[in-house]
Amino acid sequence: MSARAGSLWERRVGHVALVLLLGGCSWDTPMSTVAGRSDFARSILDVYAIITWATVVIALVVFGVLAWVLLRFRDRPGAAMPRQTHGHTALEIAWTIAPALVLLVIAIPTVQIIFRTQAASVSPDALQVTVRGWQWWWEFRYPGLDVVTANELYLPVGRTVTLRLEGPDVIHSFWVPQLGGKRDVIPGRVNHLSFTPATPGEYRGQCAEFCGASHANMRMKIVVVPPDAFDRWVASQRTPGLEPSGAAAEGKAIYARSACVGCHTIRGVSSGTIAPDLTHFGSRATFAAGLYPNTVDDVAAWILDPVAMKPAAKMPALGLTPAEARALATYLTGLK
């Protein structure tokens, strides 16, 4: 390969690498921590700004002094050895106090945010939601509204929400980057997280504490909607499901006589407490903690072999035939 051809090839590789690098630097992505959509998220960004500017100032001072030293004391032909200094009390005191002051400037707003958002309730009108982290899914209970759902948390825009975080099995961590926070969910201890969503939309979240084989599959979706849309959603969740017919009626009969009833709740049919509430399962866009779209085909495949679709899933295979699994999936996806 000629030198010119080699140089051209290297430039092309460099351009491709630059494009790939810049492609990973999008500012507003679903899991971005720098696109705040709540008061809590913006408070965190304010702390980020303090840290960033402090880092910039420190870098300018350090590199400025380093440049001066390199120029002032560079080796020159015939130059005498500079005067040697052993110890400088004022300088040593300065570089001890300066970092302490920088840390203090960062610590004060950080501690203020932690205490403000850890409060059990920051407003008498705050929406109270109990969040329970299970292996490997999220349960959301609205105690004042008599609503229970899984993996999809609906919130009204502009209203403060206080999350009560409980861990019934192992340590998890509730994290929705664009709404702020990352708060541990610990067995035997109750943590709280308060924030006010500022922008309607759908926000992705996940468990941020390793909790077992399907930790990476423990996802969630927070749906922030206008207050009137939230009220309609609450009303629909509190409304009993319609009596099924056809294949769905057959699926209901299969559900009622299978092991499903020991773990799941469907109001008026079963009252299990260790698996997701399925009363309005069909109203959710996804299932298996956000892994799959909520379609009859995917739900039927899940019923036949859950572990194949989600490693170490707690749900056992029910031993149903494909036809029975499809009838059950038809029933479940119809629970709006």
CATH superfamily of 247-333: Cupredoxins -  blue copper proteins (2.60.40.420)
Q: Residue 201: which of 223, 219, 221, 220 has the closest Cα?
A: 223
DSSP 105: H
What is the C-alpha separation between 306 and 275, in angstroms, rounded?
13
The answer to whether domain 127-238 and domain 247-333 are alike in fold is yes
Strands 172-176 vs 201-207: parallel, antiparallel or unpaired: antiparallel
pLDDT averaged per 10 residues in sequence order, the chain, 336 residues: 60 67 66 86 90 93 93 83 82 90 91 83 85 96 94 96 94 94 91 93 95 95 97 93 86 92 91 92 94 96 95 91 95 93
Show the tokens assigned to 70: 């390199």
What are the two backbone dihedrals, phi and then psi, of residue 281, each rounded to the nearest 5 degrees?
Answer: -55, -40
Domains of the chain, by residue range, sit at 127-238, 247-333
Question: CB burial class (10 A; 0-12, 13-18, 19+) of residue 65?
Answer: exposed
Residue with tokens 């008498």: 124
What is the C-alpha separation between 176 and 126, in angstroms, rounded?
19
Three-state secondary structure call for residue 310: coil
Task: State the pTM of this model.
Answer: 0.82
- Amino acid present at 295: T
Please give the CATH topology (third level) of the domain spanning 127-238: Immunoglobulin-like (2.60.40)
